[in-house]
Amino acid sequence: MQWTKSGLRSFAVLAALASTGFAARAETFPSRNIRLVVPFAAGGTVDLFARLVALEMGKSLGQSVVVENIPGAGGVIGTTNVSRAAPDGYSLCFCASGSTMLLPLMDSKVSYKIPEDLPPVGHVLRIEQTIIVNTKKGPNDLAGLVAKARANPGAMFYATPGLGTSNHLAGELLKIAAKIDVRAVHYRGESAAVLDLLSGQLDYMVASMSFAEPYSRAGELQVLALTGPSRWPNNASIPTIAESGYPGFDATTQIGLHASKGTPRDRIETINAAMNTALQSKDLREKFALGGATPQGGSVDDYAKFLQVETAKWDKVIQQAGIKLD
């Protein structure tokens, strides 16, 4: 077959146009479903929040965001899975601060670090935590609890759902802020811990608002204070620790989106925009509130700066409390 010069030029133009079109199609994101890894078991609070966010994000992205539960090792297994996934934006982690910030500070065996191995995408929500006591045992407010602890150094015990959890760290931060000598007792989850609180064997417990609220409504437990920076809209009568004599106190579980190492910034920005749109959903916000959570939002850089400040804060608490998991 003979090619003329004009024919070669026409072929070259067609090839260039075809390659340009192919490149444009290749750069379209997302062009398929996105995997959202929840590093905890299905059916839990974090999993339920993830499914709400995934549904709303899918509407903005034009592709389904599919939740995949990969539990184990306090969230480390699922989080590690995302850190090692292909850097294409199709694998995300619905990560809790315990597995992203706290565990790497306490356990040298954790293989990832933020932000380098898990680029921040966006701040999704915070889960409110509480200081709760047995209603029959008291005391009736945080000031009374602190006074009792100061009068009985080393003799009071508080429950956490596990060593190194965000609940545990909140308890240690209160211990430092209030200058009290109390001892933490660690259980395998909140359900196990509350039994000893109800039986009177413990003095108080650091628990999520969603877990504490039904016991509070039943009159079995009393919520003395919230560990976050603001009151819970569903029960504004509960004060915060910050307004109870400890300004600036803030110790909640943070949930954020993280991508795989090396994910392009433009794809991270696309996901961040979808997340922010999702968080404006009235239905989502109402369900968050019922679950004791507060939506956050903001830019990629906002979340990165937040993580930097929080990591430095908790590193100091961990060092002061002498917490090590290895």
281's enclosing H/E stretch is none
- The structure tokens listed for 179 are 């200058």
Asked whether residue 18 carries a pLDDT value surpassing 80, the answer given is no
Q: Got the DSSP string for 173-240? A: HHHHHHT--EEEEE-SSHHHHHHHHHTTS-SEEEEEHHHHHHHHHTTSEEEEEESSSS--GGGTTSPB
User: In this structure, how many other beta carbons lie within 10 angstroms of the beta carbon of residue 102?
Assistant: 28
Asked whether residue 309 carries a pLDDT value surpassing 80, the answer given is yes
Measured at the CA of 133, the angle between CA 322 and CA 193, to 5 degrees, comes to 60
Among 244, 266, 291, residue at a domain's last position: 244
Count structural domains, the chain: 2
Tell me how far the alpha carbon of residue 72 is from its chain's centroid: 16
Question: Is the torsion defined by CA of 304, 308, 309, 311 positive or negative?
Answer: positive
Among 210, 226, 244, residue at a domain's last position: 244
The pLDDT tens digits for 138-178 are: 999 999 999 999 999 999 999 999 888 999 999 999 999 99
| 298 Ramachandran zone, left/alpha/beta (phi>0; psi -120 to 50) | left
Please compute the mean of the pLDDT values over residues 119-139 and round it to a whole number: 96
Same domain, 309 and 234: no
Residue 44 confidence (pLDDT): 86
Same domain, 144 and 234: yes
Please answer whether residues 46 and 38 qualify as being in contact, where contact means their C-beta atoms are separated by less than 8 angstroms.
Answer: yes
User: In this structure, how many other beta carbons lie within 10 angstroms of the beta carbon of residue 200?
Assistant: 10
Selection from 295, 292, 264, 308 nearest residue 114 by Cα: 308
Please give the model's pTM, rounded to 2 decimal places: 0.86
Q: What is the DSSP letter of 154?
A: T
The pLDDT tens digits for 73-91 are: 889 999 999 999 999 999 9
Q: Would you say residue 14 lies in a domain?
A: no
The pLDDT tens digits for 213-259 are: 999 999 999 999 999 999 988 888 999 999 999 999 999 999 999 99
Asked whether residue 305 carries a pLDDT value surpassing 50, the answer given is yes
Same domain, 133 and 123: no
| Mean pLDDT of the chain, nearest integer | 91
- The structure tokens listed for 212 are 């504490």
| 109 Ramachandran zone, left/alpha/beta (phi>0; psi -120 to 50) | alpha
Structural domain containing residue 69: 33-127+252-321
Q: Would you say residue 15 lies in a domain?
A: no
Q: Would you say residue 9 lies in a domain?
A: no
